[in-house]
Structure 1
Amino acid sequence: MADFANYPSLRGKTVFLTGGAVGIGAQTVRAFAAQGAKVGFVDLNADAGGALLKEIGGDHAFEQCDLRDIEATRFAFRNLAAKLGNAEVLVNNAAHDDRHDWRDVTPDYWDERMATNLRHMFFAIQNVAPAMIDAGGGAIVNIGSNSWWEAGGGFPAYATAKSAVHGLTRTMARDLGEHRIRVNTVVPGWIMTERQKELWVTPEALAKQVDRQCLPDPVDPVYVARMVLFLASDDAAMCTANNFMVEAGSI
């Protein structure tokens, strides 16, 4: 593993993160905890969330939450704030890239995919932004995807939701920028999480992916986490309304 950077400005910061129990989210929770931040994360997976909280130890918190339920999300965020203080950093990570054939998509399924992959991001921002304004600033990082840039098929509702994340980032960066709140998108490529490995990574698919990348190595979740850390830190004080790619040059 590389000898990664330390960001003193993150020490003691309160970070809220959605979808933090597994995958990219869990790796990002670990990364913030290692920086000395106070991390509050939410996830539907109570067992994995509890295990991760036990693993990182220290002054952190976990709330089980179905982010499709906005009232439940608000309740979970209130509980995190009561335990850790108001969020100074928000990472909107939660998503689910289930495959689906466009012929089979119903209006209910479409709406559920928007609720899973997009809607909660806006309401999480709405929840934390007032306290960030009162504090004089903050950082918000939305996790997008390069799937729609690559014209990836097999999940039209997911790709549509993820493309909209970039619009959300741009408009909220404008609305919140006067308060010194920065809003950016981290754009992962095909990241080798355990879920991806279990469901979709085959030797043939991986070889095809690596061939289209400029760099010849599969992308580990830790590199997404490192980009999130940078954007949350004071080192990125003049970075907002932009996309930061972590995809080994595969666009």
Structure 2
Amino acid sequence: MTKFALYPSLKDKTVLITGGASGIGEQMVEAFAGQGAKVAFLDKDESASAAVAARFKVEHELCDLRDIGHTQTAIKALAARVGNFSVLVNNAARDDRHDWRDVTPGYWDERMNVNLRHMFFTMQAVADGMIAAGGGSIINMGSNSWWEAVGNFPAYATAKAAVHGLTRTMARDLGQHRIRVNTIVPGWIMTDRQKKLWATPESLEKHRQNQCLPDLIDPVYVARMAVFLASDDAAMCTASNFMVEAGSV
């Protein structure tokens, strides 16, 4: 069994994770809870959220992140229960496939709402609390899909590319307050959703050949990167990309 590091600086830190009820987000909830942090998460899946919250004894609010007003209200409700957040992980996204010929203006806007817009507004919602506390860590989830020029989801790839610009500009704006902003860049992570929808034997073998490392990537390794970036060990890391893609870029 792999033995992972413990970060004493994370004990009792308040952590907010978006999309925490499944996949990478669920692994992040588990990882931060295992560090002794005070964890809360947002998700719109009622049954999955209840199960994760009960399993790890953490707080949660049901929330559709496309509704910014509801999202901000949910963050305030969670902060009232656990305290102002010192760590934000902007994890929630959906990599739904779509043919460029079929994309309408409405679909494009909806994909931006799902994969990009909420990241800025969650940052905005937690920043004042971090400033009052003298610092914090914000972690945005990017994707290596656009680095690799993967097709079949132009709106998703565009949103994920924009995450890097958002990270860097906010790192500059918030850095004076000792708030660090970084991007995690995952490769093809073997979540249950990926396995169910797209991970055929043929596609997996092709992907292995594109990686430097031969092993498929478990979600736990993305969560471990988030734990590091949230900790005081990463105190001088900001405005940067942290790759978890087994050398596939």
* TM-score bracket, shorter-length normalisation: over 0.9
* Secondary structure at 2:128 match in 1: helix
Aligned position for 1:33 = 33
Q: How does 1:67-106 map to 2 (within 5 A)?
A: 67-106=65-104
Counterpart of 2:105, as a letter, is P
Aligned position for 1:48 = 48
Aligned position for 2:17 = 17
Match of 1:193 among 191, 194, 199: 191
Q: Which runs of 4+ in 1 moved over 3 A?
A: none
Match of 1:136 among 134, 137, 158: 134
CA distance in 1, matches of 2:42, 2:176: 29
- CA deviations 1:91-140 (Å, max 9, x no partner) are 00000000000000000000000000000000000000011011110000
CA distance in 2, matches of 1:72, 1:205: 39
Counterpart of 2:137, as a letter, is A
TM-score of the two chains, using structure 1 as the length reference: 0.99
* Secondary structure at 1:134 match in 2: helix
* Secondary structure at 2:33 match in 1: helix
CA distance in 2, matches of 1:206, 1:79: 42
Counterpart of 1:242, as a letter, is S
The alignment yields a C-alpha RMSD, in angstroms, of: 0.5
Q: Does 1:156 align with 2:169?
A: no
Question: What is the CA distance between 1:207 and its match in structure 2?
Answer: 0.3
Aligned position for 1:233 = 231
Question: What is the CA distance between 1:161 and its match in structure 2?
Answer: 0.1
Aligned position for 2:182 = 184
> Tell me, which stretches of 5 or more residues in structure 1 are unaligned?
none
* Secondary structure at 1:201 match in 2: coil
Question: What is the CA distance between 1:46 and its match in structure 2?
Answer: 1.0
Aligned position for 1:108 = 106
CA distance in 1, matches of 2:62, 2:206: 37
CA distance in 2, matches of 1:168, 1:2: 34
Counterpart of 1:56, as a letter, is F
Question: What is the CA distance between 1:142 and its match in structure 2?
Answer: 0.3
TM-score of the two chains, using structure 2 as the length reference: 0.99
* Secondary structure at 2:184 match in 1: strand
CA distance in 2, matches of 1:200, 1:79: 37
How many residue pairs were aligned?
A: 249
CA distance in 2, matches of 1:220, 1:126: 31
Counterpart of 2:24, as a letter, is I
Aligned position for 1:219 = 217
CA distance in 2, matches of 1:178, 1:85: 22
Question: What is the CA distance between 1:157 and its match in structure 2?
Answer: 0.2
CA distance in 2, matches of 1:7, 1:208: 37
